[in-house]
Chains A and B, each alone.
Chain A
Amino acid sequence: DAGVTQSPTHLIKTRGQQVTLRCSPKSGHDTVSWYQQALGQGPQFIFQYYEEEERQRGNFPDRFSGHQFPNYSSELNVNALLLGDSALYLCASSLEGHGYTFGSGTRLTVV
């Protein structure tokens, strides 16, 4: 049974560029949450998707957007990248009433 799969594993982008990160949830899970984890810090909640809609959002600017597809997979898009966007981006999937399963993350470096 595959867990949560994130791609790519590593990414280097230039300031001002746009990036798309992808997440395939664990089989049977219907909810996807995205987190940003800066170096030395705890994960910060970005947003959560359920039934292809953004259900909750953390304190992140509109440059951060997402999408969920009918097969429950999800994308995180970040526009106009800043140096401060460099972080590990974690995707977590879940099913109502159950805890999160995390992917290994995408390490984004903005130069």
Chain B
Amino acid sequence: AQSVAQPEDQVNVAEGNPLTVKCTYSVSGNPYLFWYVQYPNRGLQFLLKYITGDNLVKGSYGFEAEFNKSQTSFHLKKPSALVSDSALYFCAVRAGRTSYDKVIFGPGTSLSVIP
């Protein structure tokens, strides 16, 4: 069965510093990996995805993520954090390339960017 772990409930970073939000996954077959962001009382907004190809994926709002197959990780990164990046971040995995395959979300990591 597929699963996603986000080992940190909370990440605090100073504005302007680089940020990393960690994610590890477990899935049989090739993984399709996603990052979403959620602001208070809102739905999830898509940030980026890894399907195949280059292990470094660039997404919205300056975010990027690095796929590491040997470590089964897909960490989210940003070179310089903004206060407006403060939100809840979810890593997700889909075990298959079709929309038939359900997407499983991790428990989320709350990011706080301190001015």
Known contacts being A42-B90, A42-B108, is A56 close to B100, with CB within 8 Å? yes
Does B28 lie at the interface of the complex (its beta carbon under 8 Å from any beta carbon of A)? no
Contacts of B41 in A (CB 8 A): 88, 104-105, 107
Q: How far is the CB of B55 from chain A (nearest CB, A)?
A: 19
Chain B, interface residues (CB within 8 Å), range: 20 to 34
Q: How many residues of A contact B (CB 8 A)?
A: 32
Q: How many A-B residue pairs have CB under 8 A?
A: 65
Q: Pick the contact of B49: A92, A99, A104 (CB < 8 A).
A: A99
Q: Pick the contact of A96: B34, B49, B99, B104 (CB < 8 A).
A: B99
Instruction: Write out, one digit per residue, whether chain A residues 37-66 have a CB within 8 A of any chain B CB (1) or not (0).
Output: 000111111001010000110100000000
Contacts of A35 in B (CB 8 A): 105
Q: How far is the CB of A89 from chain B (nearest CB, A)?
A: 10
Contacts of A103 in B (CB 8 A): 43
Contacts of A31 in B (CB 8 A): 99
**A42 B99 Cβ-Cβ under 8 A:** no
Does B102 lie at the interface of the complex (its beta carbon under 8 Å from any beta carbon of A)? yes
Interchain CA distance A58-B1 in the complex, whole Å: 12
Interchain CA distance A107-B43 in the complex, whole Å: 11
**B99 A41 Cβ-Cβ under 8 A:** no
Instruction: Write out, one digit per residue, whether chain B residues 68-106 have a CB within 8 A of any chain A CB (1) or not (0).
Output: 000000000000000000000010000001111111111
Contacts of B44 in A (CB 8 A): 43, 90, 92, 100, 102
Which residue from chain A places its CB closest to the CB of B48 in the assembled complex?
A99
Q: Pick the contact of B45: A42, A44, A102, A105 (CB < 8 A).
A: A102
**A97 B102 Cβ-Cβ under 8 A:** no
**B107 A41 Cβ-Cβ under 8 A:** yes
**B102 A100 Cβ-Cβ under 8 A:** no
**A94 B43 Cβ-Cβ under 8 A:** no
**A43 B99 Cβ-Cβ under 8 A:** no
**B100 A55 Cβ-Cβ under 8 A:** yes
**B106 A105 Cβ-Cβ under 8 A:** no
Q: Pick the contact of A104: B34, B42, B103, B107 (CB < 8 A).
A: B42
